Amino acid sequence: MNTISFQQNLTDEYCYPDNNNSCIKELQSSKGRIFLLFFLSCISMSTVLLNLLVIISISHFKQLHTPTNLLIMSLAVADLLVGLIVMPVNIMDLIDSCWYLGKTMCSLYPVVNYISVTASVGSLVFIAVDRYIAITSPLLYSTRITISKTSLFIVLTWSGAILYNTLFYFFEGHLLHPDKFSQCVGKCVVVQSQSASMADLFISFICPCFTMLFLYLRIFKVARYQVKSISAVECDYAHGHRVKRVNIKAAKTLGIVIFVYLSSWIPFYLNLLSTESLSSMSVVWVVLNWLIYLNSSVNPLIYAIFYPWFRVSVKYIVTCQIFQASSSMFNLFPERF
Protein backbone atom coordinates (compact mmCIF):
# COMPACT_ATOMS: atom_id res chain seq x y z
CA MET A 1 0.00 0.00 0.00
CA ASN A 2 1.33 3.43 -0.92
CA THR A 3 2.28 5.76 1.94
CA ILE A 4 1.15 9.39 1.86
CA SER A 5 3.48 12.27 2.47
CA PHE A 6 2.33 15.13 4.72
CA GLN A 7 5.06 17.59 3.83
CA GLN A 8 3.66 21.08 3.63
CA ASN A 9 3.92 22.45 0.15
CA LEU A 10 2.26 25.60 -1.02
CA THR A 11 1.62 24.07 -4.43
CA ASP A 12 -0.19 21.04 -2.99
CA GLU A 13 -3.98 20.83 -3.19
CA TYR A 14 -5.89 18.97 -0.50
CA CYS A 15 -9.11 16.99 -0.60
CA TYR A 16 -10.40 18.93 2.41
CA PRO A 17 -8.44 22.23 2.73
CA ASP A 18 -9.99 23.04 6.15
CA ASN A 19 -8.84 19.74 7.67
CA ASN A 20 -5.25 19.50 8.90
CA ASN A 21 -5.29 15.73 8.32
CA SER A 22 -6.55 15.96 4.74
CA CYS A 23 -5.07 13.87 1.96
CA ILE A 24 -3.29 15.54 -0.93
CA LYS A 25 -5.00 15.49 -4.29
CA GLU A 26 -3.19 13.62 -7.02
CA LEU A 27 -4.13 15.84 -9.92
CA GLN A 28 -3.16 14.73 -13.39
CA SER A 29 -4.27 16.81 -16.35
CA SER A 30 -2.51 14.84 -19.05
CA LYS A 31 -4.36 14.18 -22.28
CA GLY A 32 -4.05 10.45 -21.64
CA ARG A 33 -5.88 10.72 -18.30
CA ILE A 34 -8.62 12.91 -19.81
CA PHE A 35 -9.11 10.44 -22.66
CA LEU A 36 -9.23 7.55 -20.16
CA LEU A 37 -11.91 9.26 -18.06
CA PHE A 38 -13.94 10.03 -21.18
CA PHE A 39 -13.58 6.43 -22.39
CA LEU A 40 -14.64 4.98 -19.03
CA SER A 41 -17.59 7.36 -18.86
CA CYS A 42 -18.74 6.14 -22.27
CA ILE A 43 -18.46 2.54 -21.05
CA SER A 44 -20.54 3.40 -17.98
CA MET A 45 -23.28 5.08 -20.04
CA SER A 46 -23.39 2.28 -22.61
CA THR A 47 -23.60 -0.31 -19.81
CA VAL A 48 -26.59 1.50 -18.31
CA LEU A 49 -28.29 1.97 -21.68
CA LEU A 50 -27.85 -1.60 -22.93
CA ASN A 51 -28.96 -3.23 -19.69
CA LEU A 52 -31.88 -0.81 -19.35
CA LEU A 53 -33.06 -1.80 -22.82
CA VAL A 54 -32.93 -5.46 -21.82
CA ILE A 55 -34.91 -4.80 -18.62
CA ILE A 56 -37.57 -2.71 -20.38
CA SER A 57 -37.92 -5.26 -23.18
CA ILE A 58 -38.40 -8.28 -20.94
CA SER A 59 -40.60 -6.55 -18.37
CA HIS A 60 -42.86 -4.83 -20.95
CA PHE A 61 -43.51 -7.41 -23.66
CA LYS A 62 -45.59 -10.32 -22.42
CA GLN A 63 -44.17 -12.60 -25.11
CA LEU A 64 -40.82 -12.38 -23.32
CA HIS A 65 -42.15 -13.43 -19.91
CA THR A 66 -40.35 -16.77 -19.83
CA PRO A 67 -38.11 -18.39 -17.18
CA THR A 68 -35.00 -17.91 -19.31
CA ASN A 69 -35.72 -14.24 -19.91
CA LEU A 70 -36.36 -13.65 -16.20
CA LEU A 71 -32.85 -14.89 -15.51
CA ILE A 72 -31.50 -12.63 -18.26
CA MET A 73 -33.35 -9.69 -16.67
CA SER A 74 -31.84 -10.51 -13.26
CA LEU A 75 -28.42 -10.47 -14.90
CA ALA A 76 -29.25 -7.14 -16.55
CA VAL A 77 -30.32 -5.62 -13.20
CA ALA A 78 -27.01 -6.63 -11.61
CA ASP A 79 -25.07 -5.24 -14.57
CA LEU A 80 -27.18 -2.07 -14.52
CA LEU A 81 -26.11 -1.40 -10.92
CA VAL A 82 -22.49 -1.79 -11.97
CA GLY A 83 -22.91 0.81 -14.71
CA LEU A 84 -25.12 3.12 -12.66
CA ILE A 85 -23.30 3.10 -9.30
CA VAL A 86 -20.02 1.20 -9.32
CA MET A 87 -18.47 2.62 -12.49
CA PRO A 88 -19.32 6.32 -11.79
CA VAL A 89 -17.89 6.15 -8.26
CA ASN A 90 -14.68 4.61 -9.61
CA ILE A 91 -14.46 7.29 -12.28
CA MET A 92 -14.95 10.01 -9.66
CA ASP A 93 -12.14 8.51 -7.59
CA LEU A 94 -9.83 8.50 -10.61
CA ILE A 95 -10.32 12.23 -11.25
CA ASP A 96 -8.25 13.46 -8.29
CA SER A 97 -7.93 10.35 -6.08
CA CYS A 98 -10.08 11.91 -3.33
CA TRP A 99 -13.06 10.31 -1.61
CA TYR A 100 -15.86 12.83 -0.94
CA LEU A 101 -18.69 10.48 0.04
CA GLY A 102 -17.80 10.04 3.73
CA LYS A 103 -17.06 7.08 6.01
CA THR A 104 -20.50 5.48 5.77
CA MET A 105 -20.41 5.26 2.00
CA CYS A 106 -16.79 4.12 2.18
CA SER A 107 -17.85 1.16 4.31
CA LEU A 108 -20.88 0.33 2.17
CA TYR A 109 -19.47 0.95 -1.30
CA PRO A 110 -17.31 -2.21 -1.66
CA VAL A 111 -20.24 -4.26 -0.33
CA VAL A 112 -22.62 -2.79 -2.94
CA ASN A 113 -19.89 -3.14 -5.53
CA TYR A 114 -19.40 -6.86 -5.10
CA ILE A 115 -23.07 -7.59 -4.45
CA SER A 116 -23.66 -6.46 -8.03
CA VAL A 117 -20.71 -8.48 -9.35
CA THR A 118 -21.64 -11.60 -7.35
CA ALA A 119 -25.30 -11.40 -8.39
CA SER A 120 -24.15 -11.11 -12.00
CA VAL A 121 -22.02 -14.25 -11.67
CA GLY A 122 -24.86 -16.09 -9.89
CA SER A 123 -27.24 -15.19 -12.71
CA LEU A 124 -24.75 -16.56 -15.24
CA VAL A 125 -24.69 -19.88 -13.39
CA PHE A 126 -28.48 -20.18 -13.28
CA ILE A 127 -28.69 -19.28 -16.97
CA ALA A 128 -26.25 -22.13 -17.66
CA VAL A 129 -28.44 -24.49 -15.61
CA ASP A 130 -31.53 -23.32 -17.50
CA ARG A 131 -29.91 -23.90 -20.89
CA TYR A 132 -28.59 -27.30 -19.77
CA ILE A 133 -32.08 -28.53 -18.84
CA ALA A 134 -33.60 -27.02 -22.01
CA ILE A 135 -31.17 -28.90 -24.27
CA THR A 136 -30.78 -32.18 -22.36
CA SER A 137 -34.46 -32.57 -21.35
CA PRO A 138 -36.51 -30.47 -23.81
CA LEU A 139 -39.74 -32.43 -23.23
CA LEU A 140 -39.55 -31.99 -19.45
CA TYR A 141 -38.27 -28.42 -19.49
CA SER A 142 -41.69 -26.76 -19.09
CA THR A 143 -42.43 -28.79 -15.96
CA ARG A 144 -38.96 -28.58 -14.39
CA ILE A 145 -38.41 -24.88 -15.04
CA THR A 146 -41.37 -22.62 -14.26
CA ILE A 147 -41.82 -18.91 -13.60
CA SER A 148 -42.23 -19.51 -9.86
CA LYS A 149 -39.12 -21.70 -9.60
CA THR A 150 -37.09 -19.20 -11.60
CA SER A 151 -38.27 -16.36 -9.36
CA LEU A 152 -37.08 -18.40 -6.38
CA PHE A 153 -33.67 -18.88 -8.03
CA ILE A 154 -33.41 -15.13 -8.56
CA VAL A 155 -34.29 -14.40 -4.92
CA LEU A 156 -31.69 -16.95 -3.78
CA THR A 157 -29.06 -15.39 -6.06
CA TRP A 158 -29.53 -11.88 -4.70
CA SER A 159 -29.97 -12.98 -1.09
CA GLY A 160 -26.79 -15.05 -1.29
CA ALA A 161 -24.87 -12.16 -2.86
CA ILE A 162 -25.99 -9.73 -0.14
CA LEU A 163 -25.29 -12.14 2.73
CA TYR A 164 -21.91 -13.31 1.40
CA ASN A 165 -20.47 -9.88 0.70
CA THR A 166 -21.79 -8.36 3.93
CA LEU A 167 -20.15 -11.13 5.99
CA PHE A 168 -16.98 -10.97 3.89
CA TYR A 169 -16.33 -7.28 4.56
CA PHE A 170 -17.56 -7.56 8.14
CA PHE A 171 -14.93 -10.16 9.01
CA GLU A 172 -12.31 -8.24 7.00
CA GLY A 173 -13.02 -5.29 9.30
CA HIS A 174 -13.80 -2.79 6.57
CA LEU A 175 -17.54 -2.63 7.24
CA LEU A 176 -17.10 -1.41 10.84
CA HIS A 177 -13.77 0.41 10.42
CA PRO A 178 -13.64 1.89 6.89
CA ASP A 179 -10.75 4.21 7.89
CA LYS A 180 -8.60 1.35 9.20
CA PHE A 181 -6.10 1.58 6.34
CA SER A 182 -6.52 5.29 5.54
CA GLN A 183 -3.69 7.49 6.81
CA CYS A 184 -5.52 10.75 6.10
CA VAL A 185 -9.00 12.17 5.51
CA GLY A 186 -10.19 11.89 1.91
CA LYS A 187 -9.23 8.31 1.07
CA CYS A 188 -11.31 5.16 0.97
CA VAL A 189 -8.85 2.27 1.09
CA VAL A 190 -9.97 -1.36 0.89
CA VAL A 191 -7.39 -4.03 1.69
CA GLN A 192 -8.14 -7.70 1.08
CA SER A 193 -6.01 -10.24 2.94
CA GLN A 194 -4.67 -13.32 1.18
CA SER A 195 -6.60 -15.74 3.41
CA ALA A 196 -9.87 -13.96 2.62
CA SER A 197 -8.87 -13.83 -1.04
CA MET A 198 -8.37 -17.61 -1.09
CA ALA A 199 -11.84 -18.17 0.36
CA ASP A 200 -13.31 -15.72 -2.11
CA LEU A 201 -11.41 -17.43 -4.93
CA PHE A 202 -13.15 -20.72 -4.16
CA ILE A 203 -16.65 -19.29 -3.59
CA SER A 204 -16.78 -16.56 -6.24
CA PHE A 205 -14.68 -18.09 -8.99
CA ILE A 206 -13.78 -21.78 -8.80
CA CYS A 207 -17.27 -23.04 -7.91
CA PRO A 208 -19.26 -21.04 -10.49
CA CYS A 209 -16.55 -21.52 -13.11
CA PHE A 210 -16.44 -25.29 -12.62
CA THR A 211 -20.26 -25.44 -12.71
CA MET A 212 -20.50 -23.48 -15.95
CA LEU A 213 -17.68 -25.39 -17.63
CA PHE A 214 -19.24 -28.73 -16.70
CA LEU A 215 -22.70 -27.69 -17.93
CA TYR A 216 -21.40 -26.16 -21.15
CA LEU A 217 -19.36 -29.25 -22.02
CA ARG A 218 -22.42 -31.40 -21.42
CA ILE A 219 -24.53 -29.05 -23.57
CA PHE A 220 -22.05 -29.26 -26.46
CA LYS A 221 -21.94 -33.06 -26.24
CA VAL A 222 -25.72 -33.49 -26.11
CA ALA A 223 -26.35 -30.93 -28.85
CA ARG A 224 -23.88 -32.65 -31.17
CA TYR A 225 -25.47 -36.03 -30.50
CA GLN A 226 -28.97 -34.67 -31.16
CA VAL A 227 -27.90 -33.11 -34.46
CA LYS A 228 -26.33 -36.36 -35.66
CA SER A 229 -29.32 -38.51 -34.65
CA ILE A 230 -31.88 -36.21 -36.25
CA SER A 231 -29.88 -35.67 -39.44
CA ALA A 232 -29.58 -39.46 -39.83
CA VAL A 233 -33.34 -39.70 -40.44
CA GLU A 234 -33.81 -38.89 -44.11
CA CYS A 235 -37.44 -37.78 -43.90
CA ASP A 236 -36.59 -35.30 -41.16
CA TYR A 237 -33.56 -33.84 -42.89
CA ALA A 238 -34.99 -30.31 -43.11
CA HIS A 239 -35.96 -30.38 -39.45
CA GLY A 240 -32.57 -31.73 -38.51
CA HIS A 241 -30.85 -28.98 -40.46
CA ARG A 242 -32.87 -26.33 -38.61
CA VAL A 243 -32.12 -27.90 -35.23
CA LYS A 244 -28.45 -28.08 -36.19
CA ARG A 245 -28.35 -24.36 -36.93
CA VAL A 246 -30.10 -23.54 -33.64
CA ASN A 247 -27.75 -25.75 -31.63
CA ILE A 248 -24.65 -24.35 -33.32
CA LYS A 249 -25.85 -20.81 -32.56
CA ALA A 250 -26.48 -21.74 -28.92
CA ALA A 251 -23.06 -23.39 -28.68
CA LYS A 252 -21.33 -20.29 -30.05
CA THR A 253 -23.21 -18.02 -27.64
CA LEU A 254 -22.32 -20.20 -24.66
CA GLY A 255 -18.70 -20.33 -25.81
CA ILE A 256 -18.54 -16.54 -25.86
CA VAL A 257 -20.10 -16.41 -22.38
CA ILE A 258 -17.49 -18.63 -20.78
CA PHE A 259 -14.62 -16.94 -22.64
CA VAL A 260 -15.67 -13.44 -21.48
CA TYR A 261 -16.24 -14.66 -17.93
CA LEU A 262 -12.81 -16.27 -17.70
CA SER A 263 -11.09 -13.32 -19.38
CA SER A 264 -12.63 -10.95 -16.83
CA TRP A 265 -11.91 -12.87 -13.64
CA ILE A 266 -8.72 -14.88 -14.14
CA PRO A 267 -6.31 -11.87 -14.04
CA PHE A 268 -7.89 -10.60 -10.81
CA TYR A 269 -7.54 -13.88 -8.94
CA LEU A 270 -4.10 -14.65 -10.33
CA ASN A 271 -2.90 -11.35 -8.91
CA LEU A 272 -4.52 -12.11 -5.54
CA LEU A 273 -2.69 -15.43 -5.39
CA SER A 274 0.66 -13.78 -6.13
CA THR A 275 0.47 -11.07 -3.44
CA GLU A 276 -0.04 -11.11 0.33
CA SER A 277 -2.69 -8.40 0.08
CA LEU A 278 -4.14 -6.16 -2.58
CA SER A 279 -4.97 -2.54 -1.79
CA SER A 280 -7.66 -0.55 -3.58
CA MET A 281 -5.10 2.28 -3.83
CA SER A 282 -2.93 0.33 -6.26
CA VAL A 283 -3.09 0.77 -10.02
CA VAL A 284 -3.32 -3.01 -10.40
CA TRP A 285 -6.50 -3.08 -8.31
CA VAL A 286 -8.10 -0.40 -10.48
CA VAL A 287 -7.21 -2.09 -13.77
CA LEU A 288 -8.31 -5.57 -12.68
CA ASN A 289 -11.59 -4.31 -11.24
CA TRP A 290 -12.41 -2.44 -14.43
CA LEU A 291 -11.73 -5.61 -16.38
CA ILE A 292 -14.40 -7.29 -14.25
CA TYR A 293 -16.79 -4.37 -14.71
CA LEU A 294 -16.45 -4.67 -18.48
CA ASN A 295 -18.16 -8.02 -18.19
CA SER A 296 -21.32 -6.11 -17.26
CA SER A 297 -21.07 -4.21 -20.53
CA VAL A 298 -20.57 -7.32 -22.64
CA ASN A 299 -23.27 -9.48 -20.99
CA PRO A 300 -26.25 -7.69 -22.58
CA LEU A 301 -24.53 -7.96 -25.96
CA ILE A 302 -24.11 -11.70 -25.54
CA TYR A 303 -27.53 -12.53 -24.09
CA ALA A 304 -29.66 -10.00 -25.91
CA ILE A 305 -28.25 -8.43 -29.06
CA PHE A 306 -27.49 -11.88 -30.48
CA TYR A 307 -31.22 -12.66 -30.32
CA PRO A 308 -33.66 -11.30 -32.95
CA TRP A 309 -36.36 -10.51 -30.37
CA PHE A 310 -34.07 -7.95 -28.75
CA ARG A 311 -33.51 -6.06 -31.97
CA VAL A 312 -37.27 -5.97 -32.61
CA SER A 313 -38.07 -4.81 -29.06
CA VAL A 314 -35.40 -2.09 -29.20
CA LYS A 315 -36.99 -0.80 -32.39
CA TYR A 316 -40.34 -0.51 -30.61
CA ILE A 317 -38.71 1.21 -27.62
CA VAL A 318 -36.66 3.70 -29.63
CA THR A 319 -39.65 4.65 -31.82
CA CYS A 320 -41.79 5.08 -28.65
CA GLN A 321 -44.30 2.49 -29.85
CA ILE A 322 -44.27 0.91 -26.39
CA PHE A 323 -46.49 3.77 -25.22
CA GLN A 324 -49.36 2.40 -27.29
CA ALA A 325 -52.09 0.73 -25.26
CA SER A 326 -51.62 -2.71 -26.80
CA SER A 327 -47.82 -2.56 -27.18
CA SER A 328 -47.21 -5.23 -24.54
CA MET A 329 -48.90 -7.74 -26.85
CA PHE A 330 -46.74 -6.97 -29.91
CA ASN A 331 -45.37 -9.98 -31.75
CA LEU A 332 -41.57 -10.06 -31.41
CA PHE A 333 -41.18 -13.29 -33.37
CA PRO A 334 -42.47 -12.53 -36.88
CA GLU A 335 -40.76 -15.65 -38.20
CA ARG A 336 -39.22 -18.83 -36.85
CA PHE A 337 -35.46 -18.86 -36.36
Write the DSSP string, 155-215.
HHHHHHHHHHHHHHHHHTTTTT-TTTT-SSBT----EEEHHHHHHHIIIIIIHHHHHHHHH
Q: Looking at the chain, how many residues does it have?
A: 337
Predicted confidence at residue 183, as pLDDT, reads: 76
Domain ranges of the chain: 33-321
Predicted confidence at residue 186, as pLDDT, reads: 82
Predicted confidence at residue 244, as pLDDT, reads: 52
Q: Can you give the pTM of this predicted structure?
A: 0.82
* pLDDT < 70: residue spans in the chain: 1-12, 27-32, 226-252, 254, 272-282, 304-305, 334-337
Predicted confidence at residue 5, as pLDDT, reads: 43
Predicted confidence at residue 11, as pLDDT, reads: 55
What 8-state DSSP symbol labels residue 23? Answer: P
Class of domain 33-321: mainly alpha
